[in-house]
Amino acid sequence: MRRVFAPAKLFTTLFAALLLAGLTPRPGEARVLSLDLQSVEAPAFGGMAFGASGQYERITGVAHGEIDPGERENAGIQDLALAPRGPDGKIAYATPFVILMPIAADRGNHVLLYDVVNRGRELAPGLYNRGGSASEIGDGFLERQGFSLVWSGWQGDLPPNSPFAFPAPLARLPDGGAITGPVRKDFELFTPRPSLDLGATDLGHGVAYPAADLSAPGATLTERVHEADPPRLVPREDWALADCTEKPFPGTPSPTQLCRRGGFDTNHIYEFTYTARDPLVLGLGFAATRDLVAFLRHETADANGIVNPLAGRIRVTIAHGTSQSGRFLRSFLDLGFNAAPAGGRVFDGMVVHIAAVRLALNQRFAQPSAASMQHEEHLAPTQDFPFTWQKSRDPLSGMRAGILESCEKTRSCPEIFQELSSIEYWNSRAALDTTDGAGHDLSLPANVHLYHFAGTQHVLGLNAGPCDYAQNPNSYLEAMRALLLRLTALLEKGEAAPASRFPRIADNSLIEPAEAARIFPRIPGVTANSLVNNMPVMARGPGFDPLRESGLLAEPPVARGSRLYDVRVPAVDGDGNETDGVRSAALQAPLGTYTGWNRRKAGFSEGDLCYLVGGFFPFARTRAERAASGDPRPSLEERYGDHAGYVAAVSAASARLSASGFLTPEDAARLRAEAEASDVLR
């Protein structure tokens, strides 16, 4: 049942719980001033209990805080000095949050798991809970382990109807006038459209930066089929700032829509550069996250005496970020936000999942939903040096930097579990996280543990409409679950983390893309891939600081010379399956070839990489079938003999994974049962 409390009643309820925990409320030292606790659903999930954790409750509210732009830890936030201030000179903010925690204070594991929302979406329930999602509990893995989960808003350009929209302030000139500047938008479509929303990206939708002038002086629209093709200028008379969804070209004038005569198709990359107005102070989202988590961990009550629901419950804090939100965590560390306002660190541990680079957030006219890939949004400002956690030298620019420099200075670095799918190597240059970009391995810092989930795509179930091949079904859920428990044990008990597993140049498990394509088997109807996401160092203007991925962007960026990084990919065996990393039971007892790449099909810029989707190429059932098709890979029958042989192979793989810390006993038993129930070689 969902209960909405008046503040006094809610305060009384929480205050009583706090007294039972032996605590008394006090004004917060963190920068959160007040909590607006709007509703409590207790018990949640229809009253379901989760083992020793018992029943859970869901608390929804808004945290109100303020930022002093003069404080050193806030000084790096782009355009913070241009945000509106209160009479005391401080900048107010409000961020929505949700807390999901055991009802009984003495239950649970006393770990706050902060799930950084991805484009306004809760992801951890769907990644860790088998069959779960933001609205479905699935098998309740996270709840059975006793985690207290927290979500809050940080992305300031989400549509207002998003439950985690963060209302970032508008930057204005000192005299109150509007700020204008260049914005470049890339569009690659899954379906044809008559007009485009200037707030849309390939992976998410944001609030558009409106054009400063509907006549768009100096604006350009180009199109090309492949990322590497020279762009063709679309004549000015063939496009307009207008909405053509209801009225044909030239449409209804609009500062946030782009219309093209004849519409936009799926076979081109469209790039629009224009002068926009009204940038948002999006970097404030880093500070809001820092302050809320620091408050929930350390404080007993806000300035009005409203009790912190998690007061006295938390011993350890872990942040989880997937893809965009994993890039958020890399930038969060890079910009120094893991130092808590009152000292110490905000997060003790971080799971940086499927994120190899940083986030385009702390920039004027930032587009945090954009991601630089080989075909899509290729020049988005997320692929700048540094890539490595530790300080290293960039072979192309000569600069020296590392993502952990800021937290090392404040002694606030967390234990980091970085998890990579194979897609990140092909389409996000993940090899640069562990090499110098010139053909040499680098050692990881002691607090960084890196796990490559071999033979996997970015996430399961992506839209594979533009892709030529079936998408990769190899799951990393089991390894993620085991590693989260190992990170928790490392932080709480000092237990050693599983040894890092990722490809290296030194042992020939990290190789040139052309070599990977040469080794890849000649599967009938499949073209081996050697294309990766690579680019030279890009000059983004004198107002941009690439070392902090911050500042003012000049658009379009210009290449500094033609030299490229040495971007490598995982080595493969004769089946085309990757040989390194955390190899799932599905990869150790394979039913086919699982790749970290897929190719775009005809009508969708054929031949370029197909964004975040991997490929799957099943084995033939029998030797006769593979011989008839010309498939060089041994058939299922040749590999396993019969169904019992396949079940034995899965069982042996599960035992190896369990022994090395990458599979829980629960999941090992389930994988064996699923293999037994399958129709493989029956």
CA distance 164 to 168: 12
Sign of the alpha-carbon dihedral angle for 151, 156, 158, 163: positive
In contact, 424 and 442? CB cutoff 8 Å: no
CA distance 96 to 416: 26
User: Can you give the pLDDT at residue 177?
Assistant: 97
Helix and strand element counts for the chain (H, E): 14, 29
Sign of the alpha-carbon dihedral angle for 194, 200, 201, 205: negative
User: Can you give the pLDDT at residue 656?
Assistant: 98
| Beta strand pairing call for 349-353 and 316-322 | parallel
In contact, 583 and 564? CB cutoff 8 Å: no
Q: What share of residues in the chain are helix, strand, coil (percent, to 5)?
A: 20, 25, 55
CA distance 483 to 314: 20
User: Can you give the pLDDT at residue 8?
Assistant: 36
Which one-letter DSSP state was computed for residue 546?
G
Residue 624 buriedness (CB in 10 A; 0-12 / 13-18 / 19+): exposed
CA distance 303 to 548: 34
663's torsion region: left (phi>0), alpha (psi -120 to 50) or beta? beta
The residue type of 504 is R
Separation in Å, CA 464 to CA 190, 457, 539, 558, 613: 9, 12, 33, 32, 7
Instruction: Give residue for tokens 């905000």.
Output: 346
For 294-351, what is each residue's pLDDT tens digit? Answer: 999 999 999 999 999 999 999 999 999 999 999 999 999 999 999 998 889 999 999 9
Residues of the chain with pLDDT under 50: 1-30
Every domain of the chain and the residues it spans: 2-169+281-413, 180-277
* 512 Cβ neighbours under 8 A, 6+ residues apart: 568, 569
Nearest to 556 by CA among 94, 311, 305, 218: 218
The edge-to-edge listing of strands for the beta sheet with 193-197 is 193-197, 257-264, 239-240
Q: Is the peptide bond before 96 cis (omega within 30 degrees of 0)?
A: no
Q: Is the peptide bond before 556 cis (omega within 30 degrees of 0)?
A: yes
| Phi, psi torsion values for 428, nearest 5 degrees | -145, 15
CA distance 681 to 574: 22
In contact, 339 and 412? CB cutoff 8 Å: yes
Query: Is residue 299 classed as helix, strand or coil in its secondary structure?
Result: coil
Nearest to 468 by CA among 528, 379, 534: 528
Nearest to 593 by CA among 545, 554, 549, 632: 632
For 83-93, what is each residue's pLDDT tens digit? Answer: 999 999 999 99
CA distance 643 to 659: 25
User: Can you give the pLDDT at residue 204?
Assistant: 75
CA distance 608 to 611: 9
For helices 643-659 and 665-677, the axis angle rounded to 10 degrees is 170
In contact, 479 and 451? CB cutoff 8 Å: yes
Nearest to 513 by CA among 607, 612, 422, 426: 426
In contact, 25 and 307? CB cutoff 8 Å: yes
In contact, 66 and 31? CB cutoff 8 Å: yes
7's torsion region: left (phi>0), alpha (psi -120 to 50) or beta? alpha
CA distance 570 to 529: 13
CA distance 195 to 363: 27
User: Can you give the pLDDT at residue 2?
Assistant: 44
CA distance 456 to 433: 18
In contact, 533 and 429? CB cutoff 8 Å: yes
Residue 313 buriedness (CB in 10 A; 0-12 / 13-18 / 19+): buried
Structure tokens at 376: 């899509």
Query: Is residue 384 classed as helix, strand or coil in its secondary structure?
Result: coil
Structure tokens at 552: 């003012």
The residue type of 443 is S
CA distance 275 to 213: 8
Structure tokens at 241: 């700032």
The residue type of 32 is V
CA distance 293 to 297: 6
User: What global pTM score does this model have?
Assistant: 0.95
* 19 Cβ neighbours under 8 A, 6+ residues apart: none
List residues bridging with 37 in a β-sheet: 61
Question: What is the torsion angle, in degrees rounded to the nearest 10, for the CA atoms of residue 172, residue 173, residue 175 and residue 180?
Answer: -90
Instruction: Give residue for tokens 């399956």.
Output: 577
The residue type of 672 is R
The residue type of 421 is S
User: Can you give the pLDDT at residue 202?
Assistant: 73
Give 461's Cβ-side CA count (13 Å radius): 5
DSSP-assigned states of every residue in 51-62: GGG-BEEEEEEE
